[in-house]
Amino acid sequence: MLIAQISDPHLRPGGALYQETVDSNADLVRAIDQLNRFSPQPDLVVLTGDVVDNGSPEEYAVARDLLRDLKAPLLVIPGNHDERDAFRAAFHDHAYLPPDGPLHYVVEFGERRVIALDVTIPAEHHGFFDDAAEAWLQAALMAEPDRPTIIMMHQPPITTGVPYLDDYRCLGATRLAACIAKAPGVERVLCGHVHRLMQMRFGGTLLCTAPSTTTAIALRIDPAAEPASFIETPGFLLHDWRNAKGLLTHYLPIGTFPGPYDFA
C-alpha cells in the first residue's frame, strides 16, 4: 500500500493569493498533477489539514473543484485554518466523516487501518488532546492494538525548537504518547501544520510532519526568532507500506527538475 501525504495547501477563493503573496491554488494543482503521474499510483492520499485558509464556503468550493482531479482515493482532516462545519458540509459525500462533533474516524484497508484524530480547537491555532479525544482514541486503538495503523492529525504534539511553532503545537502530548504506546501496531503518526518535514520518536513509534504544498515556515531555532516563511520548493511525503516489516517514508519535492539521467 502506497500512501501519499499532502498538507496545508491553504486554498483561497479564485484569483486571491495566500498571504497576498503566493498562488497556493496553482501550487496544489502542480502537486495533484505530480501525484497523478507517479508510478505506481498511490493507493491513498491523506490531506492533513489546513485545506483552506479562512474556512469560507468559497474556498471549500475551490478545494472540491481542484481535488476532484486527484486519481487516488482521498482522506481529509481539518486544521486550525479550517472551519469544522463548513469543512463537513464541503466533504459531505466522504462517508467516513462523522455527522457531528470532532472529525475523528477510522478507515480500514484490509489488515491495515488509518485513524484520523481531530485535535483542532475552533478559533485557535494550537490543538488539544482532551479527555474526550483520549477516550475516543483509546477505544479505537484498543479494539485491535496490534493492527498495523497510521494516525493522522494536524498539529504535532511535539516541541520543535522553533518558538513560533511551539506555541501552536497540540497540547496534551504526554497522555497522547501514553495512549499510542499501548498500541504496538501504530507505525506512524502523520501531522501537518508546521510546513516542514520533521521527524521524532513519539509514543513508542515515529512521528513525522509533512511540508506544505505551498510556502515553507522558516526553520529559526533562536528563542527570540520572529515568525517568517520562505517560498521554497514545496513537497509531499510518500509512505511505502508494501513491506510487512514496516513502513518506509520518502520526501518528494514538487516540481520539474533536470533529468532523468542514465546513472544512479
Q: To 5 degrees, how large is the angle CA 189–CA 214–CA 82? A: 65
Distance from C-alpha of 39 to C-alpha of 34, rounded to nearest angstrom: 10
Q: What is the pLDDT of residue 244?
A: 78
Q: What is the pLDDT of residue 142?
A: 97
Q: Does the model's pTM come out above 0.95?
A: yes
User: Within 10 Å of residue 156's Cβ, how many Cβ atoms?
Assistant: 28
Q: What is the pLDDT of residue 184?
A: 97
> What are the structural domains of the chain?
2-253 (3.60.21.10)
Q: Is 133 helix (H, G, I), strand (E, B) or coil?
A: helix
Which spans in the chain are helix H?
24-37, 57-67, 84-90, 131-142, 163-166, 173-181
**For the chain, what is the largest distance between any 2 Cα atoms, rounded to a whole number of angstroms?**
55
Q: What is the pLDDT along the chain (264 residues), one digit of tens a residue?
A: 999 999 999 999 999 999 999 999 999 999 999 999 999 999 999 999 999 999 999 999 999 999 999 999 999 999 999 999 999 999 999 999 999 999 999 999 999 999 999 999 999 999 999 999 999 999 999 999 999 999 999 999 999 999 999 999 999 999 999 999 999 999 999 999 999 999 999 999 999 999 999 999 999 999 999 999 999 999 999 999 998 789 999 999 999 999 999 999
Chain length of the chain: 264
What are the CA-CA distances from residue 158 to residues 137, 155, 163, 252, 262 (Å)? 18, 9, 12, 23, 41
Residue type, 103: L
Closest to 216 (Cα-Cα) out of 198, 200, 190, 239: 198
Three-state SS letters, 59-121: HHHHHHHHHCCCCCCEEEECCCCCCHHHHHHHCCCCCCCCCCCCCCEEEEECCEEEEECCCEC
Q: Annotate 187-197 with b (16+ C-beta within 10 A) or e (fewer).
A: bbbbbbbbbbe
Q: What is the pLDDT of residue 245?
A: 81
